[in-house]
Amino acid sequence: MTKELSTMRALVKSVFLMIVGLLALVVTAEAAPTISVDAPGTVTLGSTFMVDIVASGIGTVPISVFSFHLDFEPSKFIVTDVVDGGFLVPPALEIPSSNPPGPGFVEFAEFTLSGGTSLASGVLATITFDTVGMTGPSLLSFDLGPIGGFPGTALGATAGGDVPGLVLEGGSITVVPIPGAALLFGTGLIGLIGIARRKSMATKS
């Protein structure tokens, strides 16, 4: 009888632990609404690259407005373009930034009067950067805001107010030097051009 009771207790404990594990999986599966950076992990000095600002985990909340303020290192990158990602129901209208453009950050905001989007995830905007200097790792990070007269980083529902529990996930980019082979090729090409010019000048004289 005691052996049977111990076996029953062990079985009940196993079932309980299994239920707890399943509940943890369900909670994990219900991701929080998130604005994140989708960026290449590595870029070459002097190159141009693009970064997507992505919204995900929104569920069924209709979104009619969004904004983001993204900080970066101005000694490494400059922004050359910001393009709407087509997330909101068209026509989507850009909200001008209240802060003067400056090195080290980019702001972008849009709203629509055509009803909220029902997308659970999508690209808010695509930013184009030029890599201008200094190798090594660099962070891209969001400011929740508000910043000056700008709302910072937010998702707004058609019912009014921000989506609760918004999570912000920045990114990291590592700038690497120009590959040695390409650098040698460029140096050699410059040398050949110089020799050709000297020969041309000698011929003319």
Please check whether residues 26 and 64 belong to one and the same domain.
no
pLDDT > 70? residue 180:
no
- In this prediction, residues 139-155 reach a mean pLDDT of 88
Q: In this structure, is residue 205 part of a structural domain?
A: no
pLDDT > 90? residue 25:
no
The pLDDT value given to residue 190: 64
Longest pairwise C-alpha distance within the chain: 115
Please check whether residues 22 and 60 belong to one and the same domain.
no
Please check whether residues 64 and 99 belong to one and the same domain.
yes
Q: In this structure, is residue 201 part of a structural domain?
A: no
Please check whether residues 79 and 150 belong to one and the same domain.
yes
Please check whether residues 5 and 69 belong to one and the same domain.
no
Sheet with strand 167-169: strands edge to edge: 77-84, 122-131, 48-56, 34-38, 167-169
The pLDDT value given to residue 11: 54
Please check whether residues 44 and 131 belong to one and the same domain.
yes
Please check whether residues 125 and 99 belong to one and the same domain.
yes
Number of domains within the chain: 2
The pLDDT value given to residue 30: 56
pLDDT > 90? residue 18:
no
Strand pairing report for 171-176 and 42-44: parallel
Place 189 in a pLDDT band, splitting at 50, 70 and 90.
low
Place 45 in a pLDDT band, splitting at 50, 70 and 90.
very high
Please check whether residues 76 and 87 belong to one and the same domain.
yes
Burial 35-62 (b: 16+ CB within 10 A, else e): bbbebeeebeeeeebebbbbbbbbeebe
Please check whether residues 168 and 75 belong to one and the same domain.
yes
Q: How does pLDDT run across 81-140, given as a tens digit for each residue?
A: 999 999 998 888 998 887 777 789 999 999 998 888 878 899 999 999 999 988 899 999
Please check whether residues 11 and 41 belong to one and the same domain.
no
pLDDT > 80? residue 65:
yes
Please check whether residues 67 and 163 belong to one and the same domain.
yes
**pTM (predicted TM-score):** 0.73
Please check whether residues 15 and 70 belong to one and the same domain.
no
Q: What region does 188 belong to: left with phi over 0, alpha with psi -120 to 50, or beta?
A: alpha
The domain that holds 90 is classified in CATH as 2.60.40.680
pLDDT > 90? residue 16:
no
Q: In this structure, is residue 200 part of a structural domain?
A: no
Q: In this structure, is residue 182 part of a structural domain?
A: no
Q: In this structure, is residue 192 part of a structural domain?
A: no
Q: In this structure, is residue 82 part of a structural domain?
A: yes
The pLDDT value given to residue 4: 60
Q: In this structure, is residue 51 part of a structural domain?
A: yes
Q: In this structure, is residue 52 part of a structural domain?
A: yes
Domain around 104 = 33-176
